[in-house]
Amino acid sequence: MSTLEKALEKSEQIAQTNTEKSVVKNRVKSGLGGTIPSTKRTVNIDWEELSTQGYLSLEQGNSGLAEEYRMIKRPLLYNAFGKAAEGIERSNLILVTSSVPEEGKTFTAINLAMSIANERDKNVLLIDADVAKPTLAKRLGVTASPGLIEYLEDDSLNFSDISLATDVANLQIIPAGKRHTFSTELLSSNRMVQFVDELSQCYSDRIVIFDSPPLLAATQAEVLAGLVGQIVLVIAAETTMQSTVQEAIKRLEERDVVLALLNKAKYGLTMDYYGYGQYGAEH
């Protein structure tokens, strides 16, 4: 049985177990004093356009897609806030990546964020960390503004300078910002480490989702993978070669929690549409 098959099989067991557990963990708050800084700008998401492109919308509570994302987010939330979180560093930070381009990372990151934000008691921060090819803001119909790169480059910028509130009360976004020749170095910097530490400590009650570049096409993804507690590896079903996926998985060997998610399968939006799994940790 391949690593991926094992991952998928294990995920089914985890999903079953997780339905019974939902212990919310309180962490000691630090860094920014436990307060969530306010944002300076509120943007409206273009729901109509997203819905045309097949994305999850706020009203789709009972759709097949909404149900799929319910299943996908369950192990992630359990790992973030449940008992498993105790063994995972920065467990509330989730990176959405893939082996190669266009497997559906941004699609997954947005839908996952929407699905979690739909749970009224959960806050989500969606960050475009695909600094090489940022698309998140555009996909959401939001005008680009200073983002992660500017924050990393300029010590005088605060969280509130780059984060955007949205028309969904519990969803905030951070755009990627401008292109930068040394973006990999900026993502590896102490300021970035401090930033993710603050997100995991001051924002321990919220989920932070990073949309990432592909692992085999850009160096930034591997750097980002080392900064988060959980990784969703999006795999374009029936198009990405298994050897390519194995190569990507190799780059994630050191990481605690990796969930494989099969996207774009041809059977439509049914429960078989996505698979997801966890390997590398006995959480």
- Judged by the rule CB under 6 A, the positions of this chain that interact with ligand ATP are 53-54, 98, 101-107, 130, 133, 135, 214, 263-264
Residue whose CB is less far from Mg ion, 76 or 110: 110
How many angstroms separate the Cα of 250 from the Cα of each of 155, 216, 227, 244, 254? 35, 11, 17, 10, 9
Q: Which residues pair with 93 in a beta bridge?
A: 208
| Cβ nearer to ligand ATP, comparing 41 with 264 | 264
For ligand ATP, give the closer residue by CB, 54 or 64.
54
Residue from 39, 91, 92, 106 that binds Mg ion (CB under 5 A)?
Answer: 106
Cα 212 to Cα 219: distance, rounded to the nearest angstrom: 11
**Residue 180 φ then ψ, to 5°:** -145, 130
Query: Rounded to whole angstroms, how far apart are CA atoms 257 and 94?
Result: 10
245 in Cβ contact with 235 (< 8 Å): yes
Structure tokens at 67: 């149900």
Shortest distance (Å) from residue 236 CB to Mg ion:
12
* C-beta of 184 vs 263, nearer to Mg ion: 263
Using CB distances below 5 to 8 A depending on partner kind, what does residue 166 bind out of ligand ATP, Mg ion, none?
none
Strands (DSSP E) found in the chain:
41-43, 93-98, 123-128, 164-166, 171-174, 206-211, 230-236, 257-263
Q: Does 60 bind Mg ion (CB under 5 A)?
A: no
User: Site for Mg ion (CB under 5 A): which residue of 10, 105, 180, 206?
Assistant: 105
Nearest to 46 by CA among 113, 139, 151: 139
> Binding segment for Mg ion among 17-25, 37-45, 103-111, 228-236 (CB under 5 A)?
103-111
Which residue, 29 or 178, is less far from Mg ion as judged by CB? 178
Query: Does residue 139 bind Mg ion (CB under 5 A)?
Result: no
Q: Which is nearer to ligand ATP, 55 or 78 (CB)?
A: 55
Nearest approach, Cβ of residue 282 and ligand ATP (Å): 29
The pair of three-digit structure tokens given for residue 224, joined into one six-digit string = 């980002």
Report the nearest approach of ligand ATP to the CB of residue 283 (Å): 26
**Of residues 155-194, those binding Mg ion (CB under 5 A):** none
Element (H, E) at 92: none
Q: Which residues bind Mg ion (CB under 5 A)?
A: 105-106
